[in-house]
Amino acid sequence: MNKKSTGRCLLIGLSVVMTLVFLVVPLAVIFTSAFGKGVGHYIATLQEPDTQHAIWLTMLTAVIVVPINLLFGIAAAWAITKFSFPGKRLLIALIEVPFSVSPIIAGVVYIMLYGARGLLGPALASVGIQLMFTVTAIVLVMLFVTSPFVARELIPLMQAQGTDEEETAVSLGASGWQTFRRVTLPNIKWALLYGVLLCNARAMGEFGAVSVVSGAVRGQTNTLPLHIDLLYHDYNTAGAFAAATILTLLALITLVAKAFVEWRFPGGRKAQSAH
């Protein structure tokens, strides 16, 4: 065996070992611990009202947040890549802010803005509006945390594609909507799908920012990650791992969807980037 083959085998072996240690083993521990007290206890845990509410709330917030950020990402990418205007670089920098700010800091900022003693809190309270420690607060902070994902996938691609095809379509009499639907959308669909998948995964798994603004009220503002944490600190280890299996399955479904798209349409994203 030559040195090249030896090096390749070592790299493959190291990759396999690291995958087992950092991915397969933790997943095995989660499911083993969840079923540690039997299938009956596992099912009973998932049927508890607080757990079911946490699952429902997690799905609800993702269903609200992802479409909004989908529209925001498309609009932001379209504006940045198809038009020239003062402040474009500033807009790009602002879109990147949620990546550079800790989610906990983001949650604290929302408290300082909309909390009872925050900058806008008293004015909102005077008209009977309370944002913090409600489902609305969870949606707002999730929108902030997940806002860059779709736009960040679209902007580099749309910049590389340029504006020639859109300009041609407009010169032939196509409306703005027709240009987007028949020219732009087919060219960005793969990047758009990737951005949606990443946004959805982050929305369902977000902990830090949500823990600050939600109050983590059982059965009211407790998302699944927060509920898992509460169960663990209540020394209900089996219950925590049972709830964790649901969050794990949701993440795995997202990964499977991504892998399916890559398998069903091989080279689609690469071809799109080279378009």
pLDDT tens, position by position, 174-230: 888 888 888 888 888 888 988 998 899 899 999 999 999 998 888 899 999 999 999
* Global pTM exceeds 0.75: yes
**Is the separation of the CB atoms in 163 and 82 below 8 Å?**
yes
In this prediction, residue 274 carries a pLDDT of: 47
As a whole number of angstroms, the distance between CA 56 and CA 223 comes to: 8
As a whole number of angstroms, the distance between CA 42 and CA 24 comes to: 21
